[in-house]
Amino acid sequence: MSETVNQGVKSVPEYFGCNVFNKETMKERLPKNVYKSLLKTQELGVALDVDVAEVIANSMKEWAVEKGATHYTHWFHPMTGITAEKHDSFISPTSDGKVIMEFSGKELIKGEPDASSFPSGGLRATFEARGYTAWDPTSPAFVKDGSLYIPTAFCSYTGEILDKKTPLLRSMDVVSEQAIRVLRLFGNTTATRVTTTVGPEQEYFLVDKKLYDQRRDLILTGRTLFGAKAPKGQELEDHYFGNIKERVSAYMKDLDEELWKLGILAKTKHNEVAPAQHELAPIFATSNVASDQNALTMEIMKKTALKHGLVCLLHEKPFAGVNGSGKHNNWSISTNDGQNLLDPGENPKDNIQFLTFLVAVIKAVNNYSDLLRLSVASAGNDHRLGANEAPPAIVSIFLGDEIQTILDALETGKMITTNKDKEFVIGVDALPNFPKDTTDRNRTSPFAFTGNKFEFRALGSADSIACTNMILNTIVAHVLKEFADKLENSKDFSSDLNKLLIETIKENKRVIFNGNGYDESWVEEAKRRGLPNLVSTVDAVPHYSDDKNVAIFEEFKVLTRTEIESRQEILLENYSKIINIEALTMVDMARKQIIPAGLEFTKSLADAMVAKKSLGVNFDAEKALIDKASCLTNSILEATDALDSKLLEVKNYEDGEPAARYYRDVVFAAMQSLRAVVDELETIAPEKMWPFPTYADLLFRV
């Protein structure tokens, strides 16, 4: 019987990547010379000839049509934080009134979507509608929902960058160029391309859709704006890595299959710390492919959840009082001749090369921690960062004891003892071998070295990873360029490198912190060290246009000052819009749902009190509850009106930073005041009278 049931069922290796125009498919379908030309573009960044694009387009169209596609779309990443797509059919009319399926190289390479309604930060007026999408041949096309999806970059008619992919691609080129310069100093003549790779771990919540549909705040904002703490939360630590519920397991199974069909290397799945919270982790991919795939993963997670009667929440803090969701950006840097440049090698020569790249990253993070902080800034993530569930807003680096010992010895020139009881004087020619796993895992560190990569844990769950990795690539490229400039004309490379590393460690060691990032004493210690503590989005984002930050982006032609200023404006405007939507939703829910519920509860108590009084029965309990419920309902009305009035006053503030600061300092404070009294009323109101599902319902009824 089992053989009959399993007939025709394909194994994972058989269907993995079946909906992707990947290397295997291209090799089968493209002429050998065209395939080789495309590989050069993908692996070395060589420009693609138009004639070659024509052949690829025709082959890609035929493959997509065989997969059931009738349309194609240029899929891009505007500054909205989500992806965008406009679908055109392959059909073309013939003289006999019929149609044929056509797709040209021109259509593959360039599209012209309307650019007027996407965020531009002042780069474009509404009437300036023309925009262009340009094919990114380094990220594979795929078929989904009856369309061929072509990953593209997005710019305005006049050339300004309007998306997140283009700066990322540029940053990948510059970090490759500068890393190759450094590798040549170590005698590496085989590597011709260096790529940064990313493995973004994705946290998320699952809630029952029927309950979700009863929560206006979840529908409109992605988080619960009201909600008293449930009797049970995460305090027993029984959910983390616990047995996965059958319904959730079925969802995860379907999710894996959908991702695998799209060539996404979903590897790990487990329960996270908070009830109803889970995590998915993929295998590493190059930065731009990882960015595309993470955006696609988030979309597939949401769609797959609906098929199971669930809703996938990607907000950074959907529930107060339990952990929120982040995205751990595991970043590394590798050569096309097989080296991970953050992996300690087998001999002292490899070790000193590793140490050079490690120290370069340390300097980059120290000098540009403000950029890294703003790359994860959002209204949602402000609820997470700094709480004892996520890294603090202070950006620091965790290295672990062994590497710290070696850096200290290098700086001081003292001897160290290895685990083989051999003593070494740290120097280029006598650096001891590193153990392969040199660190513990510090979950409180924003930027932790974890063996052969850095894990940047501050990203929010809903964030695109493109901005963070664009910044990481650019700041590391800047330091590598400094190193290469100083060492390329050196007459004594070993000695000069040794001096450069010692000098760099001394000047940048303040950013290294191997302790508990959640400890309150770290805030004071960081202040003494001069490390910035950019607590909120409004504190962080204005640093985008600092002169030192603009200088490195313009130096490498990753972004212009105008493009940076536009991104800064978009981020601040988005923050204000989110807080405004949340505040309006709170006012709406309070007036239409919560206050009526409070009045109904009070009336039911009054009716009960009258009935008891007529019977001569003690009604002290009813009287006490009436007083409390009435008082809280009145307070809710007052707090609602106060919040509403604060929203009206925002017109007195200029757009951008002034408005964002007003929303943070005034509107958000009024929101918190309203929530406090609503949540208190919830604790005494009967469940049948409360207008929407409680935390206990949402977190434990999946």
Q: What is the pLDDT of residues 436-451, one digit of tens each?
A: 554 556 678 899 998 8
pLDDT for 159 equals 64
Burial state string for 584-622 with b = 16 or more CB within 10 A and e = fewer than 16? ebbbebbeebbbebbebbbebbbebbeebeeeeeebeeb
Distance, in Å, from the CA atom of 307 to the CA atom of 299, rounded to the nearest integer, reads: 13
- Amino acid occupying residue 418: T
Query: CB–CB of 264/311 below 8 Å?
Result: no
Question: Please, what are the domains in the chain?
Answer: 9-163 (3.10.20.70), 171-559 (3.30.590.10), 574-700 (1.20.120.1560)
CB 526 within 8 A of CB 533: yes
DSSP state of 652: G
Is the separation of the CB atoms in 133 and 74 below 8 Å? yes
Q: What is the pLDDT of residue 580?
A: 97
Distance CA 499, CA 496 (A): 5
Amino acid at 401: D
Exposure of 578 in the CB half-sphere (CA atoms within 13 A)? 23
Helices (H) and strands (E) in the chain, counts: 25, 19
- Stated as kind and residue range, the H or E segment containing 207 is strand 194-208
pTM value is 0.91
pLDDT digits (tens, 9 = 90+) for 66-81: 999 999 999 888 877 7
Q: Supply the pLDDT for residue 676.
A: 98
Query: Percentage helix, strand, coil, to 5, in the chain?
Result: 50, 15, 35
* Residue 395 near residue 568, CB atoms below 8 Å: no
C-alpha to C-alpha distances, 493 to 352, 390, 426, 679, nearest whole angstrom: 12, 42, 16, 66
Full 3-state SS string of 74-129: EEECECCCCCECCEEECEEECCCCCEEECCCHHHHHEECCECCCCCCCCCCCCCCC
**pLDDT reported for residue 94:** 76
Alpha helices in 324-378 (DSSP H): 348-367, 369-374
3-state secondary structure of 477: helix
Strands 99-101 and 110-111, how do they pair? Answer: unpaired
* Cα–Cα dist 433/406, whole Å: 11
pLDDT at 667: 98
**pLDDT < 70 regions, the chain:** 1-9, 45, 99, 112-131, 156-159, 345-350, 386-388, 414-442
Tokens of 186: 């170590």
Residue 700 β-bridge partners: none
Q: Residue 452 and residue 417: Cα distance in Å, rounded?
A: 22
637, 595 Cβ separation under 8 angstroms = yes
C-alpha 229/C-alpha 646 separation (Å) is 27
According to the model, what pLDDT value does residue 7 have? 47
**How much is the pLDDT for 434?**
55
pLDDT at position 115: 52
pLDDT at 440: 54
pLDDT for res 350: 64
Quick count: other Cβ atoms within 10 Å of Cβ 385? Answer: 27
Tokens describing residue 357 = 């790249």
Predicted local confidence at residue 156, as pLDDT: 66
Place of tokens 């050196």: 490
Q: How far is CA 515 from the centre of its chain?
A: 25
CA distance 110 to 107: 6
